[in-house]
Every structure is written in structure tokens, then in C-alpha cells.
Amino acid sequence: MSPISFFSIFLCYCCSFLITPHENFSTLAATSPDIINQTCRTCADENHVFSYDLCTTSLQAVPVSHVANLQGLALIAMELALKNASNTLLIIQNLMASNESLDPFALVCLKDCWQLYSDGIRTLVDAVGAFLGEQYENANIWLSAVMEASNTCEEGFKEKEGEVLPSPLTNENYNLFQLCEIALCIGHLLTSGSALLMRN
């Protein structure tokens, strides 16, 4: 099964889980009408590379986020990361299809990114599973691995000797990194006293 097909099946499952009552996830209901802004601000204050603007705009664009608690927001961020990764695979496919106009080194980089994103989708699915099981440490490890993969993809274009190639995937790599950062930060909040403060 291709990564894109795998993502499509998983996305349907994840969406149904978010909007369907579940005995192991009964805390999906919102605990604060401003939980998105509060969560994004807390994360931005703790990490200088965290984008408050991307966090708020990404989460607020998903209707279910307005009735979600911390766990729900993290799952939404991971769902968005999965969508980003799947769309990026299509972008890479299209770029490689026009390889006659590509620098040979750039083509190698795109093939590397294809593998990184394919693996990243599977790793994100593992992270979601761990998160649903409240295994936040495992989820955070896998989210960090996907963030590193996005950095590796981006940096690969800079490794050509004597020349820095512009990456055609800068926006996609940045967005994937930030979306995983949202879920990662929430995982940290859930295992610290900060989450208790946000629930009150």
C-alpha cells in the first residue's frame, strides 16, 4: 500500500475518532473557550522557534478544534501534519516527473525527501497511536523524529559542493516541523503541571 493510500485510510479513522464519543477519550470536550490561543501562547513562550501564528491559524481552521481539549488539539495537529506529509509526497512526485529541468543533485535530494516523508507518515501514525494510549513519551520521540526528517530534507539541498541549491520544499518542511512541534509541546504540557493550570 502506498503512503498516500495508507494516510487516506488512517485520516478517515482519526477524524471519526475525534468526533465520536469514546470511553477512553471522554475528555475531548473543551475546558476553555480560548484553549487554542492559550495553548499556542504557552508553547510559544517556552520555545523561541515555535510559531504562535501558525499554531493558532492551523488549529482554528479545523472546526472540531473549538470543542477540543489539550489531547484533542494535539491529535488535530498530528492529523494536519499527516495531511501536510501526504500532500508533500504529491509535490515531490510532480517535481521528479519534470526531472529533465532539474539539477541532478536536486533530483537526488528529492528522492531522499520522498523516502523521509514516506517514513514520516508511518512514524506519525505510530505517534498518534501512542498518544491515544497516553504514552506521551513515545509519541514525543516519534514526533521529534519526524521534525528531524523535515530538517534533513531541507538541509540536503544545501550540501552541494560549491553551491547552495534553493529547496523547493521549504514551506512544506517548515509547516511539518511546526505542526509536529504543536503536538510535541502539548505532550510536554500533559506530563507537567502546565496542563493542570490550563484545564482550570
Tell me the C-alpha distance between 18 and 72, whole Å: 7
Positions of the chain with pLDDT lower than 50, given as ranges: 1-31, 33, 196-197, 199-200
Indicate which CATH number applies to the domain containing 187.
1.20.140.40
Q: Is residue 41 part of a domain?
A: no
- Give the tens place of pLDDT for each residue, 132-163: 999 999 999 999 999 999 999 999 999 887 77
Q: Tell me what pLDDT residue 194 has.
A: 56
Q: Tell me what pLDDT residue 101 has.
A: 75
Q: Is residue 106 part of a domain?
A: yes
The answer to whether residues 153 and 25 touch, using CB atoms and an 8 Å cutoff, is no
Q: Is residue 15 part of a domain?
A: no
Q: DSSP 3-state assignment of 99?
A: helix
Whether this prediction's pTM lies above 0.95 is answered by no
* Sign of the alpha-carbon torsion through 107, 145, 18, 70: negative
The answer to whether residues 149 and 117 touch, using CB atoms and an 8 Å cutoff, is yes
Q: DSSP 3-state assignment of 29?
A: coil
The answer to whether residues 172 and 87 touch, using CB atoms and an 8 Å cutoff, is yes
Q: Tell me what pLDDT residue 198 has.
A: 52
Q: Tell me what pLDDT residue 161 has.
A: 79
Residues sharing a CB contact under 8 Å with residue 70, sequence separation 6 or more, in sequence order: 35, 39, 186, 189, 190, 195, 198, 199
Q: Is residue 175 part of a domain?
A: yes
* Structural domain harbouring 129: 1-10+72-200
What is the number of domains present in the chain?
1
The answer to whether residues 80 and 56 touch, using CB atoms and an 8 Å cutoff, is no
Q: Is residue 200 part of a domain?
A: yes
Tell me the C-alpha distance between 192 and 178, whole Å: 21
Q: Beta-carbon neighbour count of residue 118 at 10 Å?
A: 18
Residues 127-132: contacts with CB under 8 Å, at least 24 apart: 127/78, 127/183, 128/10, 128/14, 128/75, 128/78, 128/79, 128/82, 131/71, 131/74, 131/75, 131/78, 131/183, 131/187, 132/17, 132/24, 132/25, 132/75
Q: Is residue 196 part of a domain?
A: yes
Q: Is residue 169 part of a domain?
A: yes
Q: Is residue 30 part of a domain?
A: no
Residue at 5: amino acid letter: S
